[in-house]
Every structure is written in C-alpha cells, then in structure tokens.
Amino acid sequence: MASEIWTEKYRPSKFSEIVGQDNIVKKVESLTASLNVPHLLLAGPAGTGKSTLALIIVKELFGKNWRESYLELNASDERGINVVREKVKNFARTKSLGNVPFKIIFLDEADALTPEAQQALRRTMENYSATCRFVLSCNYSSKIIDPIQSRCAIFRFKLMEKKDIDKIINKIAEGEKLTIAPEALELIYEGSEGDCRRCINILQSTASISPLINYDLVSTIISNAKPKDIRVVLDYAISGDFQKAREKLLDVMLKESISGQDVIKSIQKEVWNLPVEPEVKVKLTEKTGEAEFRIVEGSDPFIQLQSLLASFVLAGLGL
C-alpha cells in the first residue's frame, strides 16, 4: 500500500467533488466564475472542507500558474503583527499577472491571529482590495474582530453528515480495494464526529493493518470506549451496585487506555438510552457536564468519574 497521506491523495480538485457543503459551494462557484470574489471568511469545525475550498478557488481562477498568485499562511504558526506588515503587505502590493486582476492570500486558522495583527490586517484588506483578495478560515468566527467580519462574505461550514462521510469512504474503499463491514462504517463515522479529515485518517490507519475492515479493527484504532462497555457500567450503577460499576469502569479505562474525557463523552451518549424517567436523564446529563468541567480543569479523572457513578447510583435508588 502506498505511504501517501490519503487526506492529500483524495483531496477534491474541483467544486463538484466537495461533499456536505452544497449551498456554500454553489455560491462560491458562482462568484469565482464571474471573477466577482470578495474577501471571504470560511468558519466552521475542523475537517469540513474550508482549506480545500480555498485551494479550489485559486486553481479555478489562475489555472496551472496558481502558485504565482497565491500566498498561504498558517496563522497559528505565524500570528504576530510582523507577518501582516511584512509577508502579507509585500505580496498584496504587487499586481497579479494574467486575466484575473487580483491575487489571493489565504490565512488558515485566522482566529489564532493576535488582536494587534487583526487590526493591522483590517487596514491591509482595505488598502489593497484592488490587487488582492483575502480568504480567511477559522473554527470560531467570534474570535475575528468585527471590522474584519464586516469586510468579508461569511460562509459557515457544518459538520459532515453520515451520508457524506459514507460517500467519501466508499470512494476511497474503491480506490484502495478495501472491504468495509457496515458496522465498521458506522463506527468510523462515530469516531470522526463529522470531521472528514479524521475519518480518512482512521480509515488509512485501519487499512494499514488489513484491507478487510471490521468493527473490532476500527475500534482498536479509534481507542474509544465501546458503547456496550459503558452501558454495562451504567447498568450496574443504576441498579445500585456501585462496587461493580466502579470495577468495570476501572477495567475499561486501564485495558482500553481510555482517557477520562473520552469516557465522559461515551457516558453522555448512553445516558439517553437508560431505562429511567426523562427528568432523571436531564439531571444525570447535568452531573456529567460538571464532571467533565472538573476533569478539564485538572481534577483527577477517576475520582470525578467515581463521583459521577455515585450520582447514577442515587438516581437509580430514587434519591
């Protein structure tokens, strides 16, 4: 099997190949075709196609010589004001060669830019709008200052749906001659949580072991707590057997090397499948959120999870 990274190998090369963001793609394709491209702000979760869309825009505009009219900066690596003053300004002040009257500057992870750099960027976007267009991508548009947001056309990406993930996986499976069991397909989607890049990486890691991909193989790669194991833990707790619930939880965390936060996520999903009243499920969800917050803040994960199990025991006893 080739050692090439599949996220690059199967990266879409034209608008029609992007899945899951149909409304955005149609609007951007129309703007690109008319050469009426404004400054763009692409916001949304990781692995949903923001960087890919930016690259396709550039290739559609400039063709084979796209590299001469394109500057890409990752703002998480270079996020100070000097980047805007030097690299961005030097590139923006020169005219584009060819039929397109402007260049493209792509700022990836723009929400990592410092406030000072963003203030410098707002003036640069204004001063060089005749010769340059900016495409900014970020996970959280709220971290971009309002003056920049008002200068951009904002497109909000959404997490990929299962049908979109399935389409991508089936395309890769056909290209790499893989056989994927339906339950493995379901688990890959759950493990990716709508992140296409993560989905492809999971698939490649699994395929490096065997071209026959089943549930157990994917589960080994993802290293998430299995729903059925978490359900056993919660069933013990709801029935009032705290000792067995605690032992089973410790067994899951040690044998599967699952972090406290991953266990919390699995518990949160399984709460709604428990045979208890809806009001109790709401209270248990609240307790799950409190435990997750304490773990994130630095508390001992196992102590917090034991405390959470105690809440489930009390709920099962009707206390």
Q: What is the pLDDT of residue 77?
A: 60
The neighbour count for residue 211, using CB atoms within 10 Å, is: 14
Residues 263-274 have pLDDT tens digits of 888 888 888 888
**C-alpha distances in Å from residue 224, one per residue of 91, 257, 294, 308:** 45, 9, 20, 19
Q: What is the pLDDT of residue 293?
A: 93
Q: What is the pLDDT of residue 137?
A: 93
Q: Report the CATH number of the 162-222 domain.
A: 1.10.8.60
- Distance between CA atoms of 283 and 257, rounded to whole angstroms? 28
Q: What is the pLDDT of residue 146?
A: 92
- Distance between CA atoms of 299 and 304, rounded to whole angstroms? 7
Q: Report the CATH number of the 21-156 domain.
A: 3.40.50.300
Q: What is the pLDDT of residue 299?
A: 87
Share of the chain above pLDDT 70, in %: 94
CATH class of 227-316: mainly alpha
Mean pLDDT over residues 188-199, rounded?
86
In order, the DSSP letters of 181-208 are: -HHHHHHHHHHHTT-HHHHHHHHHHHHT
Residues 205-225 have pLDDT tens digits of 888 888 898 888 887 787 666
Q: What is the pLDDT of residue 319?
A: 60
> Would you say 242 and 305 are in contact if contact means Cβ atoms under 8 Å apart?
no
Question: If pLDDT is split at 50, 70 and 90, which confidence band does 2 have?
Answer: very low
- Distance between CA atoms of 261 and 263, rounded to whole angstroms? 5
Residues 24-66 have pLDDT tens digits of 999 999 999 988 889 999 999 988 999 999 999 999 998 888 8
Q: What is the pLDDT of residue 27?
A: 93
Domain boundaries, the chain: 21-156, 162-222, 227-316
Residues 60-103 have pLDDT tens digits of 998 888 888 888 887 656 556 666 677 777 888 888 777 888 99
Least confident of 93-102, 149-158, 283-292, 299-308: 93-102
Q: What is the pLDDT of residue 92?
A: 80
Mean pLDDT over residues 190-200, rounded?
86
- DSSP 8-state assignment for residue 141: G
Residues 6+ apart with CB under 8 A from 51: 106, 108, 137
- Distance between CA atoms of 33 and 30, rounded to whole angstroms? 5
Q: What is the pLDDT of residue 39?
A: 92
The candidate with the shortest Cα–Cα distance to 165, out of 197, 212, 123, is 197
- DSSP 8-state assignment for residue 163: H
